[in-house]
Structure formats: structure tokens, C-alpha cells
């Protein structure tokens, strides 16, 4: 994949994540802060499907953006073909793991399996 | 007539010299493990440049000082070095404007040191060549049936400042990405890529964008802007890089 395509995805995920995290923060304002962190409130968020979907999208956006950022930092620190390949595949693997684990949490909680 | 000849023969008075301490970094990587500084007391006038002072040392005090220079008028880009911690052309920096009793001269950062103040330009010249710094097109002005490729003043305005680059390497020496990323193209080459891409006579945009759209290409610039701060010719590589990104992101065509 060309670097410009990767960077378009990087900037796009950043913008989309900012917008969705703003929605997420605004939802906290519907009740007072301490109340919003109570166990029942958190579970209720997950069980409200559109909200759980939004959390899933935030998870994917932040994972893509964060792990690409990490890749960029690492390839600037050290160069070399094998190092860059391992950084790229390492970051893709770590990103996939984070998304899978986070999705599992969101999925199980929204299904009521807590 | 007699009065005129009196005027001509009258010597111009030269103000008495002041002295400044010139601290020169001496280092031969083939023989020594680390650089050391040597101080020299050098006389100066209000017109004395740092290069004049170095040449005074070389001529009168220490012949072994390694320094590269040529035109002495900020045209050749040979005498780039760190003067009191800031990269500048030695021939274009007057001692008086530094406002300091001690002037430290060191080789530029981000370049391999050959000896003392002389650095190797191989990496910069190879990245410069890599971006194809020439007009690319099938026809030419000397092909029969064609005529001079004319441009409007507005078209020239888009790239003219970037064609002032003298390849002195000051921009590359202050770039924070160049310091860590040994494969980074660098602000000098990127500014030159913009210079040719923005030229309406050129047809090599696609080729050059492909070259700089690499994992160690244009996207590794963090827009620190130091390159534009130190350019002795008024080139703004940081702006050129942002304009190039516009082409790659689809904001410019």
C-alpha cells in the first residue's frame, strides 16, 4: 500500500475518532459524571446496540490510528528492511489482537454475558 | 587638477581592529575518537565574515584547519557550518552581527564529518538526484516546429523561490527527522521536488510524486519548520513540503 493511502487512512481515522469520542463524551453529560460510571450505567451503555456499535467503531478507529502512529515512530527511530517489515507486521498483528479482544468485550457485554 | 591628485593619494583611514575568540572544532574521524575545540584570537573589522576569520587562522595561525569554501558570496553553498550553534554560511555571516566575544564554529549536524569543518554531501546529492531535478517532457525547445515554452509571471511565481536553492545543506542539517531517520529524503530534495512539480513546463509530476510517496519520503516531515528558518537564500522548504502533500492528498492537481 502506498504511504499516501496509509496516511489518508491515518488522518481520516483521527478525524472520525475525534467526532465519535465527542459524541461519547456528550453522552456522559446526560447524567452526572459519578453516576455515569456506575456498573449499571456502563452495562446499560453496552446493551444499547447503537451505542455499543459506536464503541466498536471507536475501538477500530483508535486501533488503526494508534498502531500506525507507533509504526511511524518506530521506523523513524531505526532503519533497515527486516526491521521495517517486522515493525509493520508486528503493528498489524498487535492492532488485530486489540480489536479482537475489545470486540469480544463489547460483544459479550452487549449480549448480557457479564 | 592638483587638488584632484591630492585627493586620490590621500589614504583612507581604516579603523583599528578589535579581537574576537574564534573557537574551531577540530576532528579527524580517521585518527581521533572525539572532536576538540581550539581557540584563536582573530582581528576583525565591521565587514569581516566568519569565513574571513577562519581563513585568517588558516593563513597565519594553524594551516591544518579543514574548511570548504569557494565563491565567498553565498552563491556556491560550500561554507555551511554551525556558527554559535546555528547553521549558517560562513561567508554570509559577519562577526559583528553575532554580537559575541566568542564565536564557535562546528561542522553541520546530520552530515558525516570528513575533517574539522568539512562534511560529506553524498547523501544529500544522491537524494537530490533521486527526485529528478530537471524538466521532464518529451518535446524540447530545440525540436523543429516547437517554440520557446512561455510562462506567465503567475506561473513563475509558484516555484521561483525554490529555484534559489544552492544545495548548501543547511536545511538538512537542522531537520529533526534527518537526525534520526537515515533514509529520509530531506527538506532540500523535497523542496526541489516541489520546484519541478509546480513548474508548468514539467511533465514529470507523476514520477516525482511516486518517488517521494515512500515510507521514508514526504510523510516523515513533522513540520518543525527549522529548514525554512536557516535557509540563506529565502527558500521555504517547509511550505514546499506542505504544498506537495496537497498533491498527494488530492487537494491540488
Total domains present in chain A? 1
The predicted pLDDT at position B148 comes to 82
Q: Say if residue A68's pLDDT is above 90.
A: yes
Dihedral sign of CA atoms B220, B223, B226, B231 in order: positive
The predicted pLDDT at position B12 comes to 57
* Cβ distance of A76 and B215 shorter than 8 Å: no
CATH for B122-249 (3.40.1080.10, 3.40.50.720, 1.10.1060.10, 3.40.190.10):
1.10.1060.10
Angle between helices A3-28 and A49-77 (to 10 degrees): 140
In this complex, which of A3, A76, A79 lies closest to B217 when CB atoms are compared?
Answer: A3
In terms of DSSP bridges, do strands B113-115 and B118-119 run parallel, antiparallel, or are they unpaired?
A: antiparallel
DSSP 8-state symbol, B109: T
CB A75 within 8 A of CB A89: no
Angstrom distance (rounded) from CA B244 to CA B221:
11
Instruction: Indicate where chain B has its CATH 3.10.20.30 domain(s).
Output: 18-119
Quote the cell numbers at residue A50.
Answer: 447503537
Find the Cα–Cα–Cα–Cα dihedral A39, A41, A46, A49, rounded to 10°. 160
The predicted pLDDT at position A1 comes to 87
Check if B123 contacts A (Cβ < 8 Å). Answer: no
Q: Say if residue A21's pLDDT is above 90.
A: yes
**Of A11, A74, A75, A76, which to mutate for an interface test with B (greatest number of B Cβ within 10 Å)?**
A76
Task: Write out residues in chain B with pLDDT < 70, as ranges.
Answer: 1-16
H or E segment at A107?
A: helix A81-110
Q: Domain range for residue A86? A: 3-110
More confident residue, B5 or A7: A7
Residue with cell string 479482537: A100
Q: Which residue of A lies nearest to B176 if distances are taken between CA atoms?
A: A76
The predicted pLDDT at position B14 comes to 59
Angstrom distance (rounded) from CA B113 to CA B67:
11
At A34, which CATH number? Answer: 1.20.1300.10
Angstrom distance (rounded) from CA B185 to CA B220:
9
ipTM rounded to 2 decimals:
0.82
Class of domain B18-119: alpha beta
Task: Give the model confidence (pLDDT) of B150-193 as tens digits.
Answer: 899 999 999 999 999 999 999 999 999 999 999 999 999 999 99
* Cβ distance of A4 and B219 shorter than 8 Å: yes
H or E segment at B82?
A: strand B80-83
List chain A residues with CB under 8 Å of B221: none
Angstrom distance (rounded) from CA B210 to CA A18:
31
Task: Give long-range contacts, CB 8 A cutoff, 24+ apart: A71-78.
Answer: A72/B219, A72/B220, A75/B181, A75/B215, A75/B216, A76/B177, A76/B180, A76/B181, A76/B184, A76/B220, A77/B180
Angstrom distance (rounded) from CA B126 to CA B134:
14
Angstrom distance (rounded) from CA B64 to CA B218:
40
* Cβ distance of B213 and A2 shorter than 8 Å: yes
Angstrom distance (rounded) from CA B53 to CA B50:
5
The predicted pLDDT at position B3 comes to 41
Q: Where are the alpha helices (DSSP H) in chain B?
A: 2-9, 50-60, 95-98, 122-130, 153-157, 170-174, 176-180, 187-197, 205-212, 226-230, 237-249
* Cβ distance of A4 and B182 shorter than 8 Å: no
Instruction: Indicate where chain B has its CATH 1.10.1060.10 domain(s).
Output: 122-249
Query: Residue A95: pLDDT band by 50, 70, 90 thresholds?
Result: very high
Nearest CA among B105, B112, B111 for reference residue B90: B105
Amino acid at each position: 500500500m502506498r504511504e499516501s493511502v496509509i496516511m489518508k487512512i491515518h488522518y481520516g481515522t483521527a478525524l472520525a475518532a475525534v467526532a465519535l469520542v465527542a459524541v461519547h463524551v456528550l453522552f456522559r453529560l446526560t447524567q452526572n459524571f459519578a453516576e455515569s460510571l456506575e456498573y449499571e450505567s456502563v452495562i446499560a451503555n453496552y446493551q444499547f446496540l447503537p451505542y455499543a456499535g459506536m464503541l466498536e467503531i471507536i475501538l477500530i478507529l483508535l486501533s488503526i490510528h494508534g498502531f500506525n502512529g507507533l509504526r511511524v515512530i518506530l521506523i523513524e527511530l531505526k532503519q533497515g528492511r527486516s526491521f521495517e517489515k517486522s515493525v509493520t507486521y508486528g503493528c498489524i498483528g498487535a492492532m488485530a489482537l486489540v480489536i479482537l479482544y475489545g470486540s469480544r468485550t463489547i460483544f459479550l457485554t452487549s449480549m448480557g454475558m457479564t | 587638477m592638483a587638488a584632484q591628485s591630492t585627493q586620490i593619494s590621500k589614504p583612507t583611514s581604516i579603523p583599528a581592529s578589535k579581537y574576537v575568540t574564534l573557537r574551531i572544532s577540530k576532528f579527524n574521524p580517521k585518527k581521533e575518537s572525539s572532536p576538540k575545540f581550539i581557540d584563536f584570537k582573530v582581528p576583525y573589522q565591521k565587514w569581516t565574515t566568519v569565513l574571513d576569520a577562519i581563513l585568517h587562522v588558516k593563513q597565519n595561525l594553524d594551516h591544518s584547519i579543514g574548511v570548504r569554501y569557494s565563491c565567498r558570496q553565498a552563491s556556491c553553498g560550500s561554507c555551511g557550518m554551525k556558527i554559535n550553534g546555528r547553521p549558517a554560511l560562513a561567508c554570509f555571516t559577519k562577526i559583528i552581527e553575532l554580537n559575541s566575544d566568542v564565536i564557535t564554529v562546528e561542522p553541520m549536524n546530520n552530515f558525516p564529518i570528513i575533517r574539522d569543518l568539512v562534511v560529506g554531501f553524498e547523501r544529500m546529492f544522491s537524494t537530490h538526484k533521486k527526485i529528478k531535478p530537471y524538466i521532464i517532457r518529451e518535446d524540447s525547445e530545440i525540436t523543429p516546429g516547437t517554440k520557446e515554452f512561455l510562462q506567465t509571471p503567475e506561473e513563475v511565481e509558484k516555484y521561483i523561490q525554490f529555484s534559489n536553492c544552492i544545495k548548501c545543506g543547511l536545511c538538512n542539517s537542522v531537520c529533526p527527522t534527518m537526525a534520526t531517520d537515515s533514509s529520509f529524503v530531506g527538506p532540500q530534495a523535497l523542496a526541489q521536488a516541489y520546484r519541478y512539480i509546480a513548474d508548468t513546463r514539467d511533465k514529470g509530476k507523476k514520477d516525482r510524486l511516486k518517488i517521494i510517496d515512500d515510507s521514508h519520503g514526504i510523510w516523515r516531515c513533522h513540520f518543525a519548520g527549522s529548514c525554512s528558518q536557516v535557509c540563506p537564500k529565502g527558500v521555504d522548504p517547509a511550505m514546499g513540503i506542505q504544498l506537495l502533500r496537497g498533491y498527494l492528498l488530492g487537494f491540488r492537481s
